[in-house]
Amino acid sequence: MRIRYTFRHMNASDRLKEHTTNKLGRISRFEDREMNVQVTFDHEKHRKSVEFQVSGAHGTFVSHEQRDDLFEAIDLAIDKLDRQLSRDKSKRKDHHPRSHAPY
């Protein structure tokens, strides 16, 4: 998983990067190939936001969350990504395997 960070209107924080990297470990189970993740942190007046763009072999998924606490926004955005990727993987799964030999 390749992760790129962008900080808008705020200074880069190793603590934010570490927390985000730990949380993104949850979504690695949905793809067996390389995923690219673009994480954008933004600070506007009293609201902080985070946006995730995950690009993999099966498409691009976007999650955005805005809260007063940036760590809470990260957790909620990762939960959204988790649901999106889970739903996509279940759609791709073959629920009715075909038998190879006729009865």
Secondary structure of residue 50 in the 3-state scheme: strand
pTM, two decimals, is 0.82
pLDDT of res. 71: 94
- Is residue 28 in a domain? yes
**Residue range 76-97, pLDDT digits in tens:** 999 999 999 888 888 877 666 6
CATH number at residue 71: 3.30.160.100
* Distance from chain centroid for Cα 4: 12
Alpha-carbon gap, residue 73 to 70, rounded angstroms: 5
pLDDT of res. 79: 95
Cβ count near 86 (within 10 Å) = 13
What value does the mean pLDDT of the chain take?
88
Query: Which range marks the domain in which residue 39 is found?
Result: 2-92
- The total number of structural domains that make up the chain: 1
pLDDT of res. 28: 82
